[in-house]
Amino acid sequence: MFTKLLDDKILQNSFLTNETARNNFLLQKIGIFIWRSKLQRIPVCVELDKRGVDLDTILCPVFKTETETVEHALLLCSTAKDLWERVFKWWNVRSSQYSGLCDMFNGIIPGTNTNIRSKLWQAIEWVGGYMLWRNRNLKAFEKKELDRSDDIQ
């Protein structure tokens, strides 16, 4: 009921979507995170700066080399690129087929129209994005990093 209210009343004028993101395979908080990411509403440095939050820098808090935007945090950062390269290789998908964040998180595998396969692909994309965000926050605020297995080929 709450998501229906959001869809009908609050999001009706959204330029990206008029629905919150949903995938029945995943926890609702991951769908909400992806929905907020597509709307540029996660607290990256550039967005915080636009809202008047006093920051020392708008550079990526992890590597401090580039401006931190939503696309940087979830697609362009070296950690994100490494993750997506491995996922694309695992699923035999060409990464060049995605033009940006919304295109990436839409759950459509180029060249397939199988509903269950697309839903699984979407779940992998969304969990990957969510875990990148968690890892970024652990590095930035707690100086920790999620355990990572380097034996994945």
Q: Give the integer Cα–Cα distance in Å for 30 and 42.
A: 12
CA torsion 89-121-105-31 (nearest 10°) is -140
Query: What are the φ/ψ torsions at residue 59 (nearest 5 degrees)?
Result: -75, 155
Over pLDDT 70: what percentage of the chain?
73
Give the pLDDT score at 106: 75
26-40, 52-66, 134-148: which range is least confident on average?
134-148
| Nearest alpha carbon to residue 104 among 116, 92, 90, 93 | 93
Give the pLDDT score at 105: 81
> If you average pLDDT over residues 34-45, what whole number do you get?
93
Give the pLDDT score at 14: 43
Q: Among all chains, which residue has been given the structure tokens 């969990």?
A: 127
Q: What is the pLDDT of residues 69-95, one digit of tens each?
A: 999 999 999 999 999 999 989 988 776
Residue 11 has pLDDT above 50, yes or no: no
User: What is residue 59's three-state secondary structure?
Assistant: strand
Give the pLDDT score at 47: 93
Q: What is the pLDDT of residues 125-141, one digit of tens each?
A: 999 999 999 999 998 88
**Secondary structure (DSSP) of 24-43:** TTS-HHHHHHHHHHHTT-S-
Give the pLDDT score at 8: 55
Q: Mean pLDDT of all residues in the chain?
A: 80
Q: Give the integer Cα–Cα distance in Å for 59 and 65.
A: 6
